[in-house]
Structure 1
Amino acid sequence: MTQSEYDVVVVGGGPAGLQAALTIGRVHRSVLLLDAGTYRNDPTDHLHNFITRDGTPPAQFRAEAHRELATYDTVTVRSEAVATVAPTGDNAAGDGFTVTLASGTQVLGRRVLLATGVRDTLPTTPGLADLFGSVVAHCPFCHGHEYAGGHVAVLGNGPHASRLALLVAPIASRVSVLTDTGPLDAPTVSLLEGAGIFVRDGAVTGVAAADSGARVSFADGDDEEVIGMFVTTALHQAAPFADQLGLALLPSGGIEVDMMGRTSLPGVYAAGDLAYVAALPMAFASVLTAAAAGMAAGAACVGDLLMIDHPAPVMA
């Protein structure tokens, strides 16, 4: 059964979706925020690198956002998952989209804003997943300072691993690159060792919690203890809506958007780490940048609806 119609339906209750709902609600457009209750930063205890919110638990951040949204009469928040999103008619005319919830209930949105994020796929090293979000991380801007003054390991043998090692070198007392699946080329080894970074070849067989942070075991040689470890994760869309709607994707699998979060399908917007402009090498994995993208996409929704509701010449 189809129920209420909204100016915008926002799918996803992380920082991008929350900020988008606030932006839309503040100009008294009707917006429905649908939150499935799962988030990319679920494994971590605190968010970082967000001015005034550095060290805030993610659940607290969301709770405060919900309290703020509750003060706006045109904002509705529902804790429900979405099954499908499909065009209802001629989007250019504002016919919009039918959003079917997991419960079978349907809602209509003149515009849809996707903020469902991505999911991290970790290397298969035993024990790594158990420590992800605390001792093991992927972003030094989010977690690097917490490892200050200790031995930090970087797992991997690609260019990104070398870049991570160089980035965290000023933070740590010692940095080790654990090549795991194959040695680095000689110029890279020379560059890293010249920067005071240790390179250890050989397969990593496991990672386990230790008093210092983690104990790393190897196929050959002694274990090493580290205060923290950085890994490169593979990213995947956390929801199927980009495929359902046939949205243009970038080589990384991210949704291609313009600077205001518009996707290749008129009436559909995307914000957060699931989408980015083609000029960037990748999406910024940050609560702050996700919220900023949500604000831009929310404003674009309002502006585009304004053009539909009040066409020409004054709006040209």
Structure 2
Amino acid sequence: MAVTTSPYASDALPGGTVDAVVIGGGTAGLNGVLMLTRSRRSVVVIDSGSPRNAPAEAMHGFIALDGTPPLEILRRGREQVRQYGGRIVYGEVTSAEPAAPSTDGDLRFTITLADGLCVSARRVLVATGLKDVLPEVPGLAEHWGHGVVHCPYCHGWEVRDQPIGILATGPASIGHAFLFRQLTEDLTYFSHGTHLDEATRARFAARNIRIVDTPVREVVNNEDGTLAGVRLTDGQVVARRVFAVATRMEAHAEGLDGLKLPMQDLPDNMGRGIATGMAGTTEVPGVWAAGNATDLAAQVGASAAAGALAGAHINSVLATADTDAALAAAQGETPAL
């Protein structure tokens, strides 16, 4: 078996049962932990160390932290939750499933890691984030997070006034084009086999958005490896410095089959995430979800806020369970599930 080295100091798993396990150590997960640990809850974070925004040089759109490198934000977050007793374990979850209830009738879950170690928890917060699925165009993926971007709010200011191309993936790319047109006067829309009706073509023409209907064959690089443009299937090369792509977004749910999480699809094949209700609750008792795993379009600030709300709700539910157990013990009863 290959040995995986943690990108940061990893804590040891505790013995016994903890109040909560948080699967995913991004902003949603860490903010959920912060709320729980500040309420003196025992919490373990299982983190794979591969956040969605890792390729980006800086995070934007979050007041006071705008321009901060994503990995620096996570470093600070880990440091803060550890101050309150939270444990952060580097690893991959291979299974997560309900276990037999405790003697007081409370819920239990068993989380197993790739190295075979397990942790028992009363509640689970899934904050695994998502993966962006790019079109299968040779050379595109190597520029992800730099010359190839997806969000006008995350990256738009940094690519303003440059020759930008929209590589269409479906109907969502049309709205994408108008957002990026706000940032540059040199915008080309590569329909790449997707449909554009005459009304949309007229709207593009009104905004001076050029349309290329010939499919894209591959990405072309400059000698220094930066993005130079794309080569079409007819051999023509169209120069572009940046490409914006509306990716298909899919929640990370590897290893979570045992939880039987409810999933939901976005329109136009835009993505698939975990279905949640108020404060990140799911249909599975004792399991919450927050951040991009459930809100596929959430930026860092929204993900952090959702994690905080879920953490606070988990603490409230645990407080009720603690009180029910204490009352039952005082009356010599076993509380009902």
Check whether TM > 0.5.
yes
Match of 2:293 in 1: 274
C-alpha deviation, 1:162, in angstroms: 1.0
C-alpha deviation, 1:205, in angstroms: 1.1
Deviation per CA, 1:281-311, whole angstroms, max 9, x where unpaired? xx32411111111101111110111111124
Distance of 1:286 and 1:202 partners within structure 2: 33
User: Structure 1 residues 221, 105: closer, same or farther in 2, change over 3 A?
Assistant: closer
| Structure 2 segments unaligned to the other structure (5+ residues) | 1-12, 267-271, 328-337
Distance of 2:255 and 2:281 partners within structure 1: 15
Residue 115 (1) aligns with residue 127 (2) = yes
Residue 147 (1) aligns with residue 159 (2) = yes
What amino acid maps onto 1:286 in structure 2?
Q
Residue 250 (1) aligns with residue 264 (2) = yes
Deviation per CA, 1:89-134, whole angstroms, max 9, x where unpaired? 2499423201111111111110011111111111001110010111
> How do 1:55-204 and structure 2 match up within 5 A?
55-73=67-85, 75-90=86-101, 93-156=105-168, 158-204=170-216
Match of 1:280 in 2: none
Mean CA deviation greater in 214-223 or 148-157: 214-223
Match of 1:310 in 2: 323
User: Structure 1 residues 32, 183: closer, same or farther in 2, change over 3 A?
Assistant: closer
Match of 1:15 in 2: 27
Distance of 2:21 and 2:298 partners within structure 1: 23
What amino acid maps onto 1:58 in structure 2?
P
Match of 1:265 in 2: 284
What amino acid maps onto 1:293 in structure 2?
A
Match of 2:278, SS? coil
Mean CA deviation greater in 135-144 or 211-220: 211-220
| CA root-mean-square deviation | 2.2
C-alpha deviation, 1:242, in angstroms: 4.5
Match of 1:295 in 2: 308
Distance of 1:157 and 1:240 partners within structure 2: 25
Aligned length, in residue pairs? 306
Distance of 2:156 and 2:246 partners within structure 1: 14
> How do 1:47-62 and structure 2 match up within 5 A?
47-62=59-74
Structure 1 stretches of 4+ moved >4 Å: none
Deviation per CA, 1:50-104, whole angstroms, max 9, x where unpaired? 111212111111111112122113x111112211111012499423201111111
Distance of 2:214 and 2:77 partners within structure 1: 46
Distance of 1:183 and 1:104 partners within structure 2: 49
What amino acid maps onto 1:172 in structure 2?
T
Deviation per CA, 1:181-217, whole angstroms, max 9, x where unpaired? 2452211111111122111110111113337843211
Distance of 2:183 and 2:298 partners within structure 1: 20
Aligned 8 A contact 2:169 2:246 in 1: no
What amino acid maps onto 2:303 in structure 1?
A
Aligned 8 A contact 2:162 2:186 in 1: yes
Identity, in percent, stands at 35
TM-score normalized with structure 1 length: 0.90
C-alpha deviation, 1:141, in angstroms: 1.1
Distance of 1:226 and 1:255 partners within structure 2: 36
Deviation per CA, 1:258-287, whole angstroms, max 9, x where unpaired? 1201111010011111114xxxxxx32411
Match of 2:237 in 1: 223
Deviation per CA, 1:201-243, whole angstroms, max 9, x where unpaired? 1011111333784321112364222231111212223232553
C-alpha deviation, 1:147, in angstroms: 1.0
Residue 38 (1) aligns with residue 50 (2) = yes
What amino acid maps onto 2:320 in structure 1?
M
Distance of 2:40 and 2:56 partners within structure 1: 34
Distance of 1:197 and 1:48 partners within structure 2: 26
| Structure 1 segments unaligned to the other structure (5+ residues) | 277-282
